[in-house]
Structure 1
């Protein structure tokens, strides 16, 4: 609330009072949580830019955007199926379906709690080490090798231009005169 504004008392009816009053016009009272915000309230609503632009929102909704684990979309009917000739009771089928789904979900959640965080930490450390090694060791080493072996690259280009290219060009022209016709007898 800003300085200089008049404060206004608001009575909130939680609906738990013992006396029930009826209204003359037959309408129910509009509770505060159902009421649309007034215009002056709309101006004071501030949303954080972190809430509007968030990296975690897409991660929570779409957890496999590239479809890496499409093979794991398994349902009860994909695993257990009864032929028409042999059937269990309906209650057995319903309960086994329910137990399959519940155990699949909860065992996954428990194993995820136990393994996801350590696996994420180990994967992050490994990726960081490999990235650092590649950026600071392998990349500069390859550049140094290219600088040191520039004369070898020039020599190899000369060999290709003088010997290999004319040889392969003449072989291609010789073989280009051949034609094969297939005839059905």
Structure 2
């Protein structure tokens, strides 16, 4: 029988499933590049590459072992405080605000229907009675009257 891998082992294999650290992938060729016109000896190039890789990995491991648990604890507490704040403070306050605003919304809608809508209706009827007419005949007469001497 094959056993299903546990969630913990999945997390150890794929530590960045959302690709959050894509911008942090740094290799030797991303940092150092020699043009064709000037080159160091091959042994110096390879030794420098190995020193870069080893120092980067050792330093990261050292900092991870030293700082990661403390940082994880601080981040866990920070996110727990934010969750607590939203669950017990922000969401209830927003709910109170929505309930209060619903009553104000009904009051304003009633006032609008009682006072503003009749005024707007009357003004609309008043302004709809205005007719605008254009007279194109007058324009044609002006264009037909040319100076006889210039023609």
On whether the aligned pair clears a TM of 0.5, the verdict is: yes
TM-score between the two structures when normalised by the length of structure 1: 0.56
Give the C-alpha shift of residue 106 in structure 1.
0.6
* Residue 85 (structure 1) aligns with: 37
Give the C-alpha shift of residue 53 in structure 1.
5.1
* SS of residue matched to 2:37: coil
* Residue 109 (structure 1) aligns with: 61
Report the count of equivalent residues.
Answer: 116
* Residue 135 (structure 1) aligns with: 87
Give runs of ≥4 in structure 1 deviating > 6 Å.
Answer: none
* Residue 54 (structure 1) aligns with: 6
Give the C-alpha shift of residue 156 in structure 1.
5.0
Structure with the larger helix share: 2
Alignment of 1:1-185 (within 5 A): 52=4, 54-155=6-107, 159=112
Q: Which ranges of structure 1 fall in alignment gaps of 5 or more residues?
A: 1-41, 171-185
TM-score between the two structures when normalised by the length of structure 2: 0.67
Give the C-alpha shift of residue 143 in structure 1.
1.1
Instruction: Report the Cα distance in structure 1 between the residues aligned to 2:21 and 2:109, rounded to whole angstroms.
Output: 46
Give the C-alpha shift of residue 52 in structure 1.
3.0
Q: Deviations over 1:13-65 (max 9, x none)?
A: xxxxxxxxxxxxxxxxxxxxxxxxxxxxx8xxxx8xxx735221221111111
